[in-house]
Structure 1
Amino acid sequence: MSGHALVCRLDNAGDVLLQGPAIRAVAAASERVTMLCGPQGRAAAELLPGVDEVIVYDAPWVAFEPCPLDREETLSLVDRISGLGADRGIIFTSFHQSPLPLALLLRLAGVPYLAATSVDYPGSLLDVRHRISDSVHEVERSLSLAESAGYRLPPGDSGRLAVRRPARGHPLPFGSEPYVVVHPGVSVPARAWPPARHAELVDELVQRGWRVAVTGAPGERELTARVAGAERPEVADLGGRTTLAELAEVIAGAAAIAVGNTGPAHLAAAVGTPVVSLFAPTVPAVRWRPWRVPHALLYRDVPCAGCRARRCPVEGHPCLSGVTAGEVLKSIERLARVREEVAG
C-alpha cells in the first residue's frame, strides 16, 4: 500500500510505546517506516518493531512546559521531512491533543496523504479526519486510526505491546534469583505514590524474602536512593544506571513491577511482566491502564477523579496516599504467582 510511511507521536516514552501495535500495522503494508517523535520519546521509538528511522522534533504545542517556537528548527524539520519522500503520514495523538499544527508542517513538507484523529475541522490539512470515542484505550485509539487509513495488523499479530530487545543478555541485578522491581518515579507529580510508602514497600518485600530492584531515570537518583534505603544485599538501587533498553531487560527478568501510570508500566506490558499499577485516577484507566498484561490497579475512589491535574490540589493526595504498602505487597505476590504458574 505504501512505499514510505511517516508515523508521528510527539510526547513521552509511554505514549510512544502505546503506538506500537498501530505502527506494526502500518509497517506490515509499507516498504519503510520513519517515526517522528519528541525528545522524551526517542529511546522508546528506537525500540519499536517496524520503525526503520527516528526523527526528533521538540514541538512547542505538546509538552506541559513547552519550549519556545524556534523558526529555524521548525523550517529545518519541514526540509528534512520533505527530503524523506514519504508518501503517507499518520499523526497519532491522545484525545486532548490536536494533530493540526503538525499536519500543517507536514503539508508544507509535501507529504501528499495525511490521516489523524481530529475533533477540530481540518480543512485541507487532512485526507482522513478520523473520529472515535474518547472512552477507549490509547492502543485501540491508534489502531482505529491506522485501520481508517487502510492498515491492519498482519495475521498472527495479537496487538500486544512489544519492543526490540537490543540489550538482551544485560546482567540482571540478582543473577538467577527472583526479584521484584519498584519504580517510584513518574512524569507527572499528581500520579506519584509517596516516597515514604515506596520505602515501606521495599522493606516489607525484603521481610517477605524478596530481592528488590529500585529503578529510575538519571534525574531520579535521589528518589531511588531514598526508596532503596540503607545499603543491603537484598536491594539494588539502579536509579540512573540503565538505558531504556537495559531497563526493559531488568523489568523482563522480574516477577512483577510496582509502578505508577508512567512509561515503565507500558514497558513492562511490552515485555510481559505483571504490573501493580499505583494508578492515580487523574486520567481514566480505560485509556491508560497496562495493556494486555496481568495487572492490578490500586487507588482510592475520590470525587475529583478525572481532574487531569499535574499537581494534586487536594491536601494529602487522597487518591493514592490511602493505598498501603501491604496492599501493594499482596498484589505483587498474587501476580508473581500468576506469572510463575503461566511459566510452569
Structure 2
Amino acid sequence: MGKMKRILYFRHDKIGDFVLAWPALAMLKRALPEASIEVFVTPVVASLAEACPYVDHIILDTGDDKAIRAQIAERNYDGIVMARSQVRTMFLVRGLGVPYVVAPKLHWYQYCYKHRVNIQMGEGEPVWRKGCRLTERLLRDNDIPIPSLPTQYWDLSAERPKWQAFYQKQADSQLVFVHAGTGGSSGSLPTSHFVSLIRQIHEQTEQPCQFVLTYSGEERKLAEEIHQALADTPVNVALAPPLDKLVDFAKSLVAADMFIAGSTGPLHLAGLHDVPTVGFYAARRSAVHVKWQTLSQAHKRLSFTPPPGRRDGRNMALVDVDLAASKVAAFLNQDQGK
C-alpha cells in the first residue's frame, strides 16, 4: 500500500468521548505529520474538533446518511479508523473502496471489516486506550512507526494569562474550578458535599484559593445553591462568567490550577491542558475512576468513590468528603507556585 495521505476517524458521540479520542488523533498526526487527519463528529463537538491541533478537517454527522456517504466518497480516504462502530457507520463506508478500514471486534458486523481489533480493556487500563489500539493496528499494518504520546495534549499556555484575567484571578491566589453537575458516567455528589469540600479546602490550604463555580444549562441552579451556601463565609467563591461556545469554555480551563467535578465531560476538557483534576466516581466492578480517568498526567489526578459494594457503591452521599478535602489541600499546598 502507498503512503497514507488522508485518514478519517469516527467519533460521533458525546463531548467526553471525543476528548478521549485526542491521544489516538495525536498518535496519527505524529506518525503522519503530512497527512490530513479528519474526524466524523456530532455538531455538539464541532467547534472543539475544529480547534483540535491534530485535526485537519471535519465531517459533521447531520443525520443525512446519503449526503454523508457522498462526502466520505469524495475525499478518497486511504484509511478509516472506526472508533465508534455501528451498523449505520458500516453502511456509510461499505463499498467505497477505501484501501484500509480498521474496526473493533464488536457485534456481528465486525466481520464486514478485514481488519479487526480486540478493544476489551485490561485491568487498570483507561478507556482512551481503545482508540489508540485501533490506531496502532493501522500504523503497524502499514509499516509506520508508532510514536510516543504527548504529556499535554493542548498547549494553550500562551492564553493562560488572558483566561486568568477573564476569571479575575488575584495575584496571590490559586484558581480552583468546581463543577457540581453530573455526567452519564458518574454519580451525583450531593450539593452539601461540594459546600463542605470547598470550605475545608479553604481552611486547609496555605495559599489563598479562589473558587470558580462552572456549570452548563440547568446546572446553574446547583452552582447558585453552592454559591448561596457560602455567601456568609470567608470563602472566595464566584459563579463563572458565561461563555456561549463549548470551545471557549474548553480553552478557558487553561486558567485553572485545579478542576474538581463529578461530571466526566468537563473533567476531560480540563485534562487536555494537563490541569490537576479531582473526580468523584461511583464505585463499581469496572473501576470507573480508572476507566474514565482524565488525560492529565498520573501525578495530577485525584479520584474518590463511595465504599465499594453492591448497595453502597453508587451512593455518592457516602463519599468521604473530609478525606477528599485533606488530600486536595495537601496537593495544592505542595503544588503551589508551579
The TM-score with structure 2 as length reference comes to 0.80
1:328 counterpart residue number: 324
Helix, strand or coil for the counterpart of 1:149? helix
Cα separation, partners in 2 of 1:36 and 1:249, compared to 1, 3 Å: closer
- 8 Å CA contact 1:88, 1:114 repeated in 2: yes
> Using the alignment, how far apart are the partners of 1:240 and 1:111 within structure 2?
44
Pick one of 46, 58, 82 that aligns with 1:42: 46
Cα separation, partners in 2 of 1:279 and 1:227, compared to 1, 3 Å: same
Pick one of 59, 64, 71 that aligns with 1:80: 71
User: Where does the alignment leave 5 or more consecutive residues of structure 1 unmatched?
Assistant: 59-69, 305-313
Pick one of 125, 131, 145 that aligns with 2:118: 131
Cα separation, partners in 2 of 1:55 and 1:186, compared to 1, 3 Å: farther
Q: Residue 55 of structure 1: CA displacement?
A: 2.2
Q: Residue 159 of structure 1: CA displacement?
A: 4.1
2:215 counterpart residue number: 216
Cα separation, partners in 2 of 1:200 and 1:286, compared to 1, 3 Å: closer
1:23 counterpart residue number: 25
User: Where does the alignment leave 5 or more consecutive residues of structure 2 unmatched?
Assistant: none
Find out whether 1:288 has 2:296 as its counterpart: no
Q: Residue 137 of structure 1: CA displacement?
A: 1.5
2:303 counterpart residue number: 297
Which region of structure 1 is more displaced relative to structure 2, 1-10 or 323-332? 323-332
Aligned-partner residue type, residue 17 of structure 2: D
Q: Residue 228 of structure 1: CA displacement?
A: 2.1
Pick one of 148, 163, 183 that aligns with 1:187: 183
2:279 counterpart residue number: 277
1:148 counterpart residue number: 137
> Using the alignment, how far apart are the partners of 1:83 and 1:300 within structure 2?
51
Aligned-partner residue type, residue 193 of structure 1: L
Q: Residue 33 of structure 1: CA displacement?
A: 1.5
Which region of structure 1 is more displaced relative to structure 2, 17-26 or 159-168? 159-168
Aligned-partner residue type, residue 57 of structure 1: D
- Write the deviation string for residues 137-167 of structure 1: whole angstroms up to 9, x where unpaired: 2222211111111167765x43445126496
Helix, strand or coil for the counterpart of 1:174? coil
Cα separation, partners in 2 of 1:279 and 1:189, compared to 1, 3 Å: closer
- Write the deviation string for residues 149-197 of structure 1: whole angstroms up to 9, x where unpaired: 1167765x43445126496523342323322111111222852211222
Which region of structure 1 is more displaced relative to structure 2, 34-43 or 211-220? 34-43
> Using the alignment, how far apart are the partners of 1:173 and 1:143 within structure 2?
35
Cα separation, partners in 2 of 1:34 and 1:203, compared to 1, 3 Å: same
Question: What is the RMSD of the two structures over their aligned residues, measured on CA atoms?
Answer: 3.0
The count of residues paired between Structure 1 and Structure 2 equals 314
> Using the alignment, how far apart are the partners of 1:242 and 1:234 within structure 2?
25
Q: Residue 271 of structure 1: CA displacement?
A: 0.9
Q: Residue 105 of structure 1: CA displacement?
A: 0.9
> Using the alignment, how far apart are the partners of 1:88 and 1:162 within structure 2?
23
Among all aligned residue pairs of Structure 1 and Structure 2, give the percentage whose two residues are the same amino acid.
19
- 8 Å CA contact 2:186, 2:281 repeated in 1: no
- 8 Å CA contact 2:175, 2:256 repeated in 1: yes
1:311 counterpart residue number: none
> Using the alignment, how far apart are the partners of 2:324 and 2:265 within structure 1?
19
Helix, strand or coil for the counterpart of 2:181? coil
